[in-house]
Structure 1
């Protein structure tokens, strides 16, 4: 049975690739990515996709199969080429061996209990405690090492750290730490930026908390907000408020620039590599989306 399901899913994955050369619209992800590329004068010249079953569940209605699709896009913009990669988590439903439904998990819009409970009050917490609880540790941010880490672990999980269901900010924190940013504030979760002994600060793992921590920190890891994504460099951070309601949901790290000098980012949760910064092809995207652009600064 598993081999039959695997064959059916592989047929489905091949359909995704063939649709990039047709007018069919059965794969919203690819269509949205094509549209996003077109808006910036780029085009997808080739797509590959590989599927893998990650779990199965039998029920009275048939079989639910959980699987991933690893997409690779060869994108041309002006005279430059870039390979973008993304891993989409999906669930397919089969009834008597026939595929009846196939959908993506909207994991990019999940919100952790920590983010919901902390809310906007995180601003006051960091402004009040930074000077009292954190000890100055001078460092120079190594952007190359941060980007190298982001590239090594974009579609994998470093066993030295805890893995979260919504892992985007945890992954970005690891990248920043690999670039030399020192942990500060242990062991109060509402202070500083740290992960230790299976415990962690809100700012380490919660997107909304990191959004406030970066510009509010006075020592160690800190950042300056800029007004335009073109001002960012590899190793810098973008925060996303998909609903535009003031609570930030997602965090990415800049790992390259495109032919127009705009950021390409790596991320976890929907694991992505060299993805265009605006996320217009994300299932979480809304017209109300808001961004914050942060450039990491040395602490000297």
Structure 2
């Protein structure tokens, strides 16, 4: 099975730099990535993949599922400028009587339910929290921990917003509101606010906060700076599922982002190649503001 998975990854790497779609195992996600790049005058010029089997499931009706993790690196050229995008995928391959038949990426946002209270929409508070947001420190933290977990913090199965909160805190964003989970933005003593860990709560908290960490909503992604935040409502149903942090810009000045849950680094902000993407997707673009 490992040999067949190795061959499959080899074909996916070849697909990244090939103009042919003739292979029976063409990966739709890679084609979407290439189409998106082509529309931005970019291309993948080199790709690498390293996989590791995580578990072999129980055989059922002669089909054995194998869960594995693969780390992709894409060297992208866009308008004469090069940058490296990285992503770690969690995938499942099915083998029928030991022969590979199907491979798919898991969707971590499908059917995920995160506990949360009603959004804190900026209750007036007398106490002020002066801070200056250090965007570079936030990005440095995002780069250091993009594919691992800081042991100083609790980790979650759906970890995207927890990771972004850590980045914002590393940039100087002050915690407030402890111990009320429905107020403020904090993680302390093994507990945390909803706004710290839940994507939908952070989406409402940042632009409505009038004390401590806060943000202003802007109308387009090119207005964002490094260290700013993008919120994603994949289904377009009004409940936001995912959060990323801007860690760079492409040759057209559009954001590249880092994220957790499924680790991504310098990924194009729109997530058009994500398994969670739908045509109904909605975004919120939030630029962090200082409080001095």
Q: Structure 2 length as normaliser, TM-score?
A: 0.94
Please give the alpha-carbon distance, in whole angstroms, between the structure 1 residues aligned to 2:149 and 2:55. Answer: 19
Paired residues of 1:126 and 1:192 also in contact (CA < 8 A): no
* Deviation (angstroms), 1:137: 1.9
Please give the alpha-carbon distance, in whole angstroms, between the structure 2 residues aligned to 1:56 and 1:162. Answer: 28
Residue aligning to 1:127:
122
Paired residues of 1:215 and 1:225 also in contact (CA < 8 A): yes
Paired residues of 2:233 and 2:281 also in contact (CA < 8 A): yes
After superposing on structure 2, the runs of 4+ consecutive aligned residues of structure 1 that deviate more than 4 Å are none
Residue aligning to 1:96:
97
Residue aligning to 2:280:
288
Higher helix share: 1
Residue 34 of structure 1: SS of its match in structure 2? helix
Paired residues of 2:122 and 2:205 also in contact (CA < 8 A): no
Residue aligning to 1:42:
42
Paired residues of 1:108 and 1:270 also in contact (CA < 8 A): no
Paired residues of 1:55 and 1:67 also in contact (CA < 8 A): yes
Paired residues of 2:110 and 2:276 also in contact (CA < 8 A): yes
Residue pairs, 1:217-296, within 5 angstroms: 217-296=209-288
Residue pairs, 1:140-219, within 5 angstroms: 140-219=132-211
* Deviation (angstroms), 1:175: 0.4
Q: Structure 1 length as normaliser, TM-score?
A: 0.91
- The CA deviation string for residues 209-230 of structure 1, in whole angstroms up to 9 with x for no partner, is 0000001111111011111111
Paired residues of 1:239 and 1:252 also in contact (CA < 8 A): yes
Paired residues of 1:49 and 1:71 also in contact (CA < 8 A): yes
Residue 126 of structure 1: SS of its match in structure 2? coil
Please give the alpha-carbon distance, in whole angstroms, between the structure 2 residues aligned to 1:6 and 1:199. Answer: 41
* 1:30 to 2:30 alignment: yes
* Deviation (angstroms), 1:159: 1.1
Deviates more, 1:259-268 or 1:21-30: 21-30
* Deviation (angstroms), 1:109: 4.0
| Aligned residue pairs, count | 287
Paired residues of 2:114 and 2:198 also in contact (CA < 8 A): no
Paired residues of 1:112 and 1:166 also in contact (CA < 8 A): no
Residue 131 of structure 1: SS of its match in structure 2? coil
Residue 113 of structure 1: SS of its match in structure 2? coil
> Once superposed, what is the RMSD of the aligned Cα atoms?
1.5
Please give the alpha-carbon distance, in whole angstroms, between the structure 2 residues aligned to 1:225 and 1:288. Answer: 20
Which runs of no fewer than 5 residues in structure 1 stay unpaired?
Answer: none
Paired residues of 1:112 and 1:206 also in contact (CA < 8 A): no
Please give the alpha-carbon distance, in whole angstroms, between the structure 1 residues aligned to 2:177 and 2:238. Answer: 25
* 1:12 to 2:13 alignment: no
* Deviation (angstroms), 1:113: 3.2
